[in-house]
Amino acid sequence: MLEIKNLKVKVGGKDILRGLTLDVPAGEVHAIMGPNGSGKSTLSYVLAGREGYDVTGGEVSFDGKDLLEMEADERAREGMFLAFQYPVEVPGVSNKVFLKHALNSIRKHRGQEELDAVGFLKLFRSKLKTVKMDKKLAGRELNSGFSGGEKKRNEILQMAMLEPKFAILDETDSGLDIDALKAVSDGVNALRDENRGMLVITHYQRLLDYIVPDRVHVLLDGRIVKSGGKELALELEERGYDWIRAEQGGAN
């Protein structure tokens, strides 16, 4: 479903991704772990189509299409979703109004009928329950003044509403209390199915107790340097990244 081949990306003139290869088939959830600054968010932004990232090599195919050819909004309408590590505040814009616009532009693209206010509200309320989000909070201005954890929960609410084909979760677990972690995981698990792929970026193996991944990858210095099953996450938590660095050094 998502095939990344030898992706090289420069940011601000600096090489950040240096030949990253990764394949996430439909129906699977893959986790990416890696030290700070290794390029995890860079990868997620490049996949989502943010400007300012200079792709100098490699290719990405999404559902058979050339992902890098598309603008950010086209990618979103094609079903690519990014839960931001740092969700953006947009004061003045109602969370609900925004979501209705977003949902309808995606539905339109899929050839589905646009939802009217009643249809939207019905869906909205049911998804609020899924992610256990407070109605008042969800009706406020988009992320404006939200606490860190509230913003993350709002990302999952949006994901639940938009039902993307592929979701990237960039440290969605950071800053969440235990209940929120549970709610967010439930939201993610509810979306797991054989047609949908997910990439979960995290620092903590704890999240992977809730969202059990099919594969775990280690991103180091802009490359996937090790892959394994869920047990790799446990090992990383115990041993840190130095041993992998050492392995790499030895391999070079």
Partner 1 sequence: MSPSATATTLPTEPVTPAVTETEATIAEFTARGYDAGFVTDISTDTAPPGLREDTVRFISAKKNEPEWLLEYRLRAYRHFLTLAEPDWAHLNYDPIDLQDITFYSAPKLKEIKNIDDLTPEERADYDELIKTYEKLGVPLHERSKLSGVAVDAVFDSVSVVTTFKEQLGKVGVIFCPLSEAVENHPELVKQYLGSVVPHTDNYFSALNAAVFSDGSFVYIPKGVRCPMELSTYFRINAAKSGQFERTLIIAEEGSYVSYLEGCTAPMRDENQLHAAVVELIAMDDASIKYSTVQNWYPGDENGVGGIYNFVTKRGACRGKRSKISWTQVETGSAITWKYPSCILQGDDSVGEFYSVALSNNRQQADTGTKMVHIGANTRSTIVSKGISAGHGQQTYRGQVKMLKGAKGARNYTQCDSLLMGDTAIADTVPYIEVNNSSAQVEHEASTSKINDDQLFYLMQRGLSAEDAVNLIVNGFCKDVFRELPMEFAVEAQKLLEVSLEGAVG
Residues that bind partner 1 (CB under 8 A): 48-51, 71-73, 75-77, 81-82, 84, 87-88, 90-94, 97-99, 101-103, 105-106, 109, 141, 158, 162
Q: Count interface residues toward ligand ATP (CB under 6 A).
A: 13
Site residues (CB under 6 A) for ligand ATP, limited to 4-33:
11-12, 14, 16
Helix H or strand E encompassing 182: helix 178-191
Spatial CA neighbour of 197 closest among 177, 175, 172, 215: 215
C-alpha 158/C-alpha 102 separation (Å) is 9
The C-alpha angle 162, 164, 170, rounded to 5 degrees, equals 100
For partner 1, which is the closer residue by CB, 110 or 129?
Answer: 110
Q: Which of 28, 39, 188, 197 binds ligand ATP (CB under 6 A)?
A: 39
**Tokens 């998502």 sit on residue:** 2
Q: How many CB atoms lie within 10 A of CB 44?
A: 21
Q: In angstroms, what is the minimal distance from the CB of 38 to partner 1?
A: 22
C-alpha 166/C-alpha 202 separation (Å) is 17
Q: How many CB atoms lie within 10 A of CB 56?
A: 12
x/- map, 52-91, ligand ATP, by CB under 6 A: ---------------------------------x------
Helix H or strand E encompassing 88: none
205 binds ligand ATP (CB under 6 A): no
234 binds ligand ATP (CB under 6 A): no
Which of the listed partners (Mg ion, ligand ATP, partner 1, none) does 47 bind, with a CB threshold of 5 to 8 Å by partner kind? none
Q: How many helices (H) and strands (E) does the chain have?
A: 10, 10
Q: In angstroms, what is the minimal distance from the CB of 236 to ligand ATP?
A: 13
C-alpha 152/C-alpha 44 separation (Å) is 16
Give me the residues that bind Mg ion (CB under 5 A), please: 40-41, 85
C-alpha 86/C-alpha 170 separation (Å) is 9
Which of the listed partners (ligand ATP, Mg ion, partner 1, none) does 14 bind, with a CB threshold of 5 to 8 Å by partner kind? ligand ATP
For partner 1, which is the closer residue by CB, 91 or 249?
Answer: 91
Q: In angstroms, what is the minimal distance from the CB of 212 to ligand ATP?
A: 22
C-alpha 223/C-alpha 8 separation (Å) is 9
Residues of the shown chain interacting with ligand ATP in the complex, contacts defined by CB under 6 A:
11-12, 14, 16, 34, 36-42, 85
